[in-house]
Amino acid sequence: MTKAKILIVDDRPENLLTLESLLDNPDVDVIRANSGGEALAKTLDHDFALVLLDVQMPDMDGYEVAELMRGNKNTRNIPIIFVTAKVDNMNQVFRGYESGAVDYLFKPLDAKVFQSKVGIFLDLFRQKAQLEQKTRELDAKVVELEELQQILEETNEQLRLLSAMDGLTGLLNRRRFDEILQEEWQRCLRDGCPLSLLLVDIDHFKAYNDSYGHLMGDNCLKKVSGMLANSLQRHVDKVARYGGEEFTIVLPSTDEEGAMQVAERMRANVEELGIEHCDSDTCGNVTISVGVGSVMPKADGSSHNLLDQADKALYKAKKEGRNRCCTIRHC
């Protein structure tokens, strides 16, 4: 533990020697000052547990020193004990308390009384030091907990994002798609906007897997899913892996004509990838079929109706030769 510092102030060397002898303690560091001015200078350089201050000194007496210490925010809380000869006029004692003293010690000093009073302030100083140390430790723990909280929040956010993603393609997964579809249905219902949905199926994908193996099949899924995502031009449009070789795209505030344009762009971009598919009955490369559904959401309607519409359109696209985009009304 750091030694407690006590400042003793007296213009007479013999008095300082007496105080030093009474303060002889390995846990105490005694600092001398021979005048009020020197005492004030010492208070700027040290953190004192206690000041033992003589009242009668030339140039600047103890009252003035105490008043100046109380007027300084850095020293106002240092306890001051006046050390003086016994006084007959109690007004002098009152003046000392008004100046900022916390106690008096009268000469000649009684060793037991002296050490008892000084010991009280040393204990208070040590308790204060321990409290400050505990406060610093607590502050450090608070900072540590805040940092851990931040890490936890970031980790939870990462987990949330991972739980919403398809592990193979990096697209949104089916569960997150269902949430987004419902959110967009409600938003478009509130705003009076159309909502469109695309269902995409990779043509003859089972035959591709059988011919090229599942590893190549996974690579094919990654390439197609990446192209579908890159074909979108608005951040509000979302693409998800619906399951197996099927994908779905939510297009808020988009009518059937706009949805067909997006679908055709996707179909053409996937075909241009040029992924070889020798067992395709449609084309020598990997292609997709797209079903387009589009509705104006109503309060008594359901997003499931939109999904069913897109599913029927996809079935129509497959039935009419694949590698095409269809609505339930036309291809």
- Tell me the three state secondary structure of residue 38: helix
Query: Rounded distance, CA 53 to CA 31, Å?
Result: 12
Query: Rounded distance, CA 286 to CA 271, Å?
Result: 6
DSSP 285: B
> Could you report how far apart the first and last alpha carbons of the chain are, in Å?
86
The CA–CA distances, whole Å, from 207 to 149, 212, 318 equal 50, 9, 15
CB atoms within 10 A of CB 327: 23
Of 162, 170, 164, give the one whose Cα is nearest residue 218.
170
DSSP 2: P
- Owner of token pair 């059937």: 256
Helix pair angle (13-22, 111-163), 10° resolution: 60
Query: Rounded distance, CA 228 to CA 88, Å?
Result: 100
Which phi and psi angles does 231 have, rounded to 5°?
-80, -15
Which phi and psi angles does 70 have, rounded to 5°?
-70, -25
CB atoms within 10 A of CB 229: 19
What positions carry a catalytic annotation?
245
Q: What is the number of helices (H) and of strands (E) in the chain?
A: 10, 10
Q: Checking phi first, is residue 68 left (phi over 0); if not, alpha (psi -120 to 50) or beta? A: alpha
Query: Rounded distance, CA 198 to CA 247, Å?
Result: 8
